[in-house]
Amino acid sequence: MTASPVTPIVALDVPNRAGAEALVQRLGDACDYYKVGLELFAAEGPAIVAWLRGIGKQVFVDLKLHDIPNTVRGAARSVARRGASLLTVHASGGPEMIAAAVQGANEGRPDGGCAILGVTILTSMDGAGAGEAWGRPPVDVQAEVVRLAGLVAGGGAAGIVCSGHEAAAVRQAFGDRLGLLIPGIRLPGGEAHDQRRVMTPAAAAEAGARWIILGRAVTGAADPVAAMAAVRRGLP
């Protein structure tokens, strides 16, 4: 399988706007796409998304929404209006909730510029951990990810979040119907930290990633710009 172009996204896993501004300034032109997660969004609200868009960056808002469909629709609409390009919901919310998120995102950005992604199984979990959380025996992670991907496709979302280890199975089941965002990316020889299922940028690209999330592999590096350059060298 020929690897397709992959978009690298740097995670702004910082507690406030000052930290975000420092990291964005340090990376400069080396990065044009950032992830805003729960910690930063809770501290700064939608204004942080508007700020990033205002300086010409694309934004992935990783909130992993999971609520009744009407509430998720409204939240997705609000986030999309601020200019988000990607927004996550939990795949386990089911097709109706996912469809509501898609509808809300399209209402917020009628140009279709905000895509909904369904989170399958967090890369911090393995089969035993997922089984324990759901009151089941250890699960087959790959089979569960493919099952959850089916819910995402049924809800009309653009793609899923999964580790690179499940990517081939998802692509076999859904082809190019679902774009794959792969977190847990580490440079060769890098530490896994709190992730259980990790992968290098090149391996993620080969597995079929459309987007990859770069956290401490870049932000924790002594030279983030050099780390980002190393990532890009490993991508098609």
Q: What is the pLDDT of residues 6-47, one digit of tens each?
A: 999 999 999 999 999 999 999 999 999 999 999 999 999 999
Query: Residue 85: which domain range?
Result: 7-233
β 58-65/86-90 pair status: parallel
**Residue 192 is part of a domain; what is its CATH number?**
3.20.20.70
Domain contains 107: yes
Neighbours of 29 (CB within 10 A): 7
Summarize pLDDT for 70-116 with one digit per residue, the tens: 999 999 999 999 999 999 999 999 999 999 999 999 999 999 999 99
Please state, for a pLDDT cut of 70, what percent of the chain lies above it.
Answer: 94
Domain contains 47: yes
Q: Report the half-sphere exposure of 28 (CA within 13 A, side-chain side).
A: 7
Domain contains 76: yes
Q: Give me the mean pLDDT over the 40-58 stretch.
A: 97
Token reading at 200? 């290098």
Question: Is 35 a known active-site residue?
Answer: no
The C-alpha atoms of residue 66 and residue 56 are separated, in whole angstroms, by 29
pLDDT higher than threshold 90 for residue 3: no
Q: The whole model's pTM is what?
A: 0.93
Beta bridge partners of 11: 35
Cα–Cα–Cα angle for 150, 87, 133, rounded to 5 degrees: 55
Domain contains 1: no
| Total residue length of the chain | 236
Count of the separate structural domains present in the chain:
1
Domain contains 155: yes
Under DSSP, the state recorded for 4 is P
Domain contains 226: yes
CB environment 76-112: b (16+ within 10 A), e (fewer)? bbebbbbbbbbbbbbbbbbbebbbbbbbbbbbbbeee
Domain contains 2: no
Annotated catalytic residue, options 53, 64, 81, 147? 64
